[in-house]
Amino acid sequence: MRKIVLFLCSVMLFIGVLRGQPQNISLIQPEGPICLSSPTPITLSAFDMFNCSSPDGYIVQSIPYDTLILFNQGTSLNFIADDIYSTLLPIFFNFCFYDISYDSLVVGSNGIVSFNKQYANQYCPWSITDDCPSHTLPRNSIFGVYHDIDFAQCGQAKYKIEGTAPFRKFIVSMNDVCHYSCSSLSSTHQIVLYETYNIVDVTVKEKPICAIWNAGRSIIGIQDTTGLVGITPPNRNTNPTWQATNETWRFIPCFTNSAEYEWYENGIFISDSSAIQVLPTQTTTYSLIVSFFDCNGQLIILADSCVVSIQSTYDQITPNHSEICRGDSVILTAPLGSDYLWSPPTSNTQTIVAKPTESTVYSVTLTDPYGCTLISNATVDVNPDVNITLTSQSLISNQVSADSYQWIDCDNNFNPLPGQVFQEFFPPYYGSFAVIVEYNGCVDTSDCVLFTNIIDFENFEKILLYPNPTNGTLFIKIYPNMVNDLCEYQIINSKGSTVLYAKLLPEQNIDISFLEQGLYIIRIQLKDKVYYNKFVLINDF
């Protein structure tokens, strides 16, 4: 068979990409795209029908309810009388049910699809007592939902064919049908048969309980021609009674014939097993070809592909990191994809113009070409950083390693403070200050910051400073317990330059005779507080 598969590969790959495949069904499990943040081992396997084993011949799974399903479309079945089967209806494709092929079926007005031709135009039983499977229930049938309903009171029953070969669907819908003896209650449900995969879906929009008739019994399930083999979803058999809204159950046949598998990684053959474990290091396409003979003895070749998208290897925003001067802008371009959403600002285009007033991280969420959600970030640094950190003793420019700093007095016409050209500035007095920063060719000025953590000790009895004016010697006396090893003093001239800086003792004489006469400020750091006072130096006292 391998030679046949290779010969037909190109033809069946075309078939495999048709979009008539069942809802939530992919030949490769899990269904792609598979989105990984980084290279991670994953296991890929053929669809469940090739890997399941069940004494019932089928497995049943709950799948998401599709809110877009229409229950009022198709050709009317015209159930004028109650409890009746329809005429024989062509399916328009061969459908395998319990390994027997059928090309026609009948619809029972009590929520049944049966492949027993002899049921056509006959009585459809309404009484339900036994659980499925049972020879007392209609055989070779699909129950979806089987209960006593009455189209003579209200409701519609319709059927239709949908899709394109080899993935067509035969759909039977029962819409807003009254319950017998409970005409105020109605149910809406649907049975779908899938070509090639031979899957059955039963969807229930609404199914209440009519407790006063037939004990409110109902069934979702399937059973074979003998009535000995069948399966129902959990809690959807005859007993106990149940109600349901917005649910879908999928019946998947367990494939019993042999099948051949061919796995490809980016077009290169890698395995002939039904399942593989892979570790892609970059975005990779895995393809699977499955060939088998169905219950008609017809060779079926299915093909599908799955993309594993590795986000860590995907393109990022360009430029990913940029530096601009305040007031300038930069164009940021997101990776190729769709459904862009930037933050900041709110935008849905691939490119944006970024003009931040401070260093900002920009983020974009998008759908990559394979359908995965990708988040990419980029940083735009605004130079220089003109934010200021206020401490108990000083003002610190947040810009590290600037080309130059110049602190200015905002209360004195923004005049530069001589000598205050470092990242950290110790204000000599109460006031508002700012800093001019130059960095990487960009120059900007910070906002003014009010420094209040400084106290004028002119009338503070715990700090004595005399004489004032002085002719060259200052005497300082500090109240006991206010001085520790960290205390210090600083003398600043009228130009703002520090001319003397030393450790502070509780009592000491300070020689300032070497200084020029004029107005000075003494700044004293005591524990967590800063004090200052003005004094005058007169050389000829």
Distance CA(121)–CA(350), nearest Å, equals: 62
Domain ranges of the chain: 2-52+256-311, 58-253, 314-383, 388-451, 455-537
Residue 94, exposed/middle/buried by CB under 10 A (0-12, 13-18, 19+)? Answer: middle
Q: How confident is the model at residue 257 (pLDDT cuts 50, 70, 90)?
A: confident
- The angle subtended at Cα 350 by Cα 349 and Cα 351, nearest 5°, is 90
Mean pLDDT highest for which of 202-216, 472-486, 520-534? 202-216
pLDDT in the model for residue 18 = 34
| CATH fold group of domain 455-537 | Immunoglobulin-like (2.60.40)
Token pair listed for 510: 């300070």
pLDDT in the model for residue 531 = 87
Other beta carbons within 10 Å of 164:
10
When pLDDT is averaged across residues 475-496 and rounded to a whole number, the result is 83
Indicate if the pLDDT at residue 10 is higher than 60.
Answer: no
pLDDT in the model for residue 22 = 55
Residues 51 and 275: beta-carbon distance below 8 Å? yes
* Mean pLDDT across the chain: 90
Distance CA(97)–CA(295), nearest Å, equals: 9
Name which of 230, 241, 141, 244 is nearest 189 in CA terms: 244
When pLDDT is averaged across residues 210-224 and rounded to a whole number, the result is 97
Structurally, at CATH architecture level, domain 2-52+256-311 sits in Sandwich (2.60)
Pick from 24-33, 158-167, 223-232, 238-247: least confident: 24-33
Distance CA(383)–CA(327), nearest Å, equals: 10
Indicate if the pLDDT at residue 313 is higher than 80.
Answer: no
Distance CA(401)–CA(399), nearest Å, equals: 7
CATH class of the domain at 314-383: mainly beta
Name which of 375, 342, 383 is nearest 359 in CA terms: 383
State the residue for tokens 């030393």.
502
Distance CA(430)–CA(530), nearest Å, equals: 10
What does residue 215 show for φ and ψ, rounded to 5 degrees? 60, 20
State the residue for tokens 């190109």.
10
Q: How confident is the model at residue 3 (pLDDT cuts 50, 70, 90)?
A: very low
pLDDT in the model for residue 23 = 55
pLDDT in the model for residue 12 = 38
* E strand residue ranges, 195-281: 200-207, 219-223, 230-231, 244-253, 259-265, 268-271, 275-278
When pLDDT is averaged across residues 373-396 and rounded to a whole number, the result is 93
| 80 or 75: which leads in pLDDT | 75
Distance CA(154)–CA(177), nearest Å, equals: 5
Indicate if the pLDDT at residue 208 is higher than 90.
Answer: yes
Examine domains 2-52+256-311 and 314-383 and report if their fold is the same.
yes
User: Would you list the DSSP string of 432-501?
Assistant: EEEEEEEETTEEEEPPPEEE---EE-TT-TTEEEE-SSBSSEEEEEE-TTS--TT-EEEEE-TTS-EEEE
Token pair listed for 343: 């933050």
Pick from 128-142, 160-174, 342-356, 518-532: least confident: 518-532
Distance CA(171)–CA(201), nearest Å, equals: 9
Q: What share of the chain in percent tops pLDDT 70? A: 95
Other beta carbons within 10 Å of 353:
10
Token pair listed for 137: 């229930």
pLDDT in the model for residue 109 = 98
pTM for the predicted model, two decimal places: 0.68
Task: List the alpha helices (DSSP H) in 302-392.
Answer: none
pLDDT in the model for residue 541 = 53
Q: Quick one: how far is CA 498 from the chain centroid?
A: 58
When pLDDT is averaged across residues 371-391 and rounded to a whole number, the result is 93
Distance CA(334)–CA(364), nearest Å, equals: 7
When pLDDT is averaged across residues 34-56 and rounded to a whole number, the result is 91
